[in-house]
């Protein structure tokens, strides 16, 4: 049986129970990686995905619960992830919060909630993971947003947090070179928001009408680019790849 480049390497993916995180987990697992599935509240979905991956390849996936809003959780999460297989090759900072913040009515709670989830947590997770990643020439992939470049009305705090993550990608690429490569993916209309942030059909059509490829994408589209950054890239760091059907244009 031919060995794949990612065989037996280890990835931790935050927010891995569903949507983009789950798609990345399945794609990397298919290429031979062992997967640490981080979740906060989605325990049932995380365990279902973990069972699925372990059915395909025994002892190849575990779940770890952590509330990334809590202080000092970053070090403990990364340490636990490393101890599962005694190595860590990839950190995917995918977990994120997304909701409207109408300017003039923004609360300190909303500011802290979005900044901690979308920027502080990825930074300190990266800091905790860096020594382990450096052991085997590892990588960090940050999931930012095309609205890090082009802000949306009524989402100012979210957009600011994702712009910070974009700059963090570039800064850490310099800080961690040459042993760790750091890149990012900026999705566009990939998986429509749910719950209170769900969009009307007219809003969805408006977004698609501004997308050159004329359609929305899928979580698998992002996962394929994550695989490219995890497996194929050897001379690229500090870059942000838009997966948005051209909408950022």
Q: What is the mean pLDDT of residues 19-29?
A: 97
Burial environment of residue 235 by CB neighbours within 10 A (0 to 12, 13 to 18, 19 or more): exposed
- Residue 249: per-residue pLDDT: 76
Bridge partners, residue 183, by sequence: 141
Global pTM value? 0.94
The more confident residue out of 230 and 201 is 230
- Residue 210: per-residue pLDDT: 75
| Domains of the chain as residue ranges with CATH | 10-242 (3.40.50.720)
Whether omega before 178 lies within 30 degrees of 0, making that bond cis, reads yes
Strand order in the sheet with 34-39: 61-65, 34-39, 10-13, 90-93, 139-143, 181-187, 240-243
What pLDDT digit, counting tens, does each position of 109-152 carry? Answer: 999 999 999 999 999 999 999 999 999 999 999 999 998 998 88
What pLDDT digit, counting tens, does each position of 77-113 carry? Answer: 999 999 999 999 999 999 999 898 999 999 999 999 9
Active site (catalytic) residues: 158
- Residue 192's Cα: distance from chain center in Å? 16
What pLDDT digit, counting tens, does each position of 164-207 carry? Answer: 999 999 999 999 999 999 999 999 877 766 666 666 666 667 77
Q: Are 240 and 222 in contact (CB under 8 A)?
A: no
What pLDDT digit, counting tens, does each position of 202-226 carry? Answer: 666 777 777 887 787 899 999 999 9
């Amino acid at each position: 049986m031919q060995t794949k480049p990612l065989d037996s390497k280890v990835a931790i993916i935050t927010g891995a129970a569903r949507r983009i995180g789950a798609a990345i987990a399945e794609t990397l697992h298919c290429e031979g990686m062992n997967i640490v599935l981080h979740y906060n509240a989605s325990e049932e979905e995380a365990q279902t995905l973990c069972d699925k991956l372990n059915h395909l390849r025994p002892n190849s996936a575990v779940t770890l619960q952590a509330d990334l809003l809590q202080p000092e959780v970053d070090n403990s999460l990364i340490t636990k992830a490393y101890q599962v297989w005694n190595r860590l090759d990839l950190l995917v900072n995918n977990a994120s919060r997304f909701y409207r913040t109408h300017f003039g009515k923004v609360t300190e709670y909303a500011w802290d909630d979005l900044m901690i989830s979308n920027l502080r947590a990825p930074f300190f997770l990266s800091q905790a993971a860096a020594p382990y990643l450096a052991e085997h020439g590892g990588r960090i992939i940050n999931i930012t947003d095309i609205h890090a470049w082009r802000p949306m009305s009524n989402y100012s705090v979210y957009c600011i947090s994702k712009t910070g993550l974009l700059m963090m990608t570039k800064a850490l690429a310099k800080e961690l070179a040459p042993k760790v490569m750091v890149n990012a993916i900026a999705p566009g209309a990939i998986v429509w928001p749910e719950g209170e942030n769900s969009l009307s059909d007219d809003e969805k059509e408006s977004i698609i009408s501004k997308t050159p490829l004329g359609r929305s994408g899928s979580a698998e589209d992002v996962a394929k680019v994550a695989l490219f950054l995890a497996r194929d890239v050897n001379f690229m760091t500090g870059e942000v790849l838009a997966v948005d059907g051209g909408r950022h244009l």
